[in-house]
Amino acid sequence: MSLNRKSLALCALFALSGCGFAPLYGGARGQAASAGLESVYVQNIPERTGQILRETLQQQLHTQGQPVTEHYTLSVSYSIMQTGEGVQADSSTSRTRFNAHAAWSLSPIGHPSKTLISGNATAMDALNIIDQQYFAANLETETVNQQLANEISAQITTQLAAWFRAHPES
């Protein structure tokens, strides 16, 4: 590595440490974030796509597969809108765009009206429609739904971890 690259990397390191940058899960506050995530119960989310999102959230929040102790309830309202694109001469579409939106809130167990934090998460994906390929289209739709759930879940988990890191006493 040249001297210029080394000095640039060193300057970037000092700039990051000077601006307050810290790893989300690092240090004592990071442990508070991990412990907070472990104590979140994810409420049921209606429909099959909601079940997929709930399972994905549980996998990301709980290293044991379920909450260690339940102190918080995560409520999620989840919807996916499909839009046809690439309109053909016969008015059929050759592509479908999926827009997923989740509005969520975290509250203490037993106090659903006391919202501690709330937020939104969005994701978008698309698939091509192949004529007369019903099985392939069904598998592709399932894959898109899982990818949307992964993205929404990652956004929610990151926002929750940041909140738990900022509120270690909660």
Instruction: Read off the CATH number of the domain in which 154 is found.
Output: 3.30.160.150
User: In 3-127, which ranges are continuous DSSP H helix?
Assistant: 3-18, 27-38, 47-61
Rounded mean pLDDT, 32-43:
86
Question: What confidence tens digit (pLDDT) does each residue in 44-95 have?
Answer: 999 999 999 999 999 999 887 777 788 999 999 999 999 988 778 887 778 8
The number of residues making up the chain comes to 170
> Which of the two residues, 150 and 13, has the higher pLDDT score?
150
Nearest by Cα to 122 from 148, 142, 158: 148
Is position 19 within any domain? Answer: no
Q: What angle (nearest 5°) sits at the alpha carbon of residue 63, between those of residues 62 and 67?
A: 35
Q: Is the pLDDT of residue 30 over 70?
A: no
Is position 3 within any domain? Answer: no
Whether this prediction's pTM lies above 0.95 is answered by no
Q: Is 19 exposed, middle or buried (0-12, 13-18, 19+ CB in 10 A)?
A: exposed
Q: Is the pLDDT of residue 28 over 50?
A: no
Is position 142 within any domain? Answer: yes
| Domains of the chain: total | 1
CA distances (Å), origin 24, targets 43, 53, 62: 25, 23, 16
Rounded mean pLDDT, 120-147:
88
Is position 12 within any domain? Answer: no
Is position 123 within any domain? Answer: yes
> Which of the two residues, 112 and 82, has the higher pLDDT score?
82
Q: Which domain holds residue 82?
A: 28-166
Rounded mean pLDDT, 121-134:
86
Is position 18 within any domain? Answer: no
Rounded mean pLDDT, 123-144:
85
What the block records as the tokens of 65 is: 């597969």
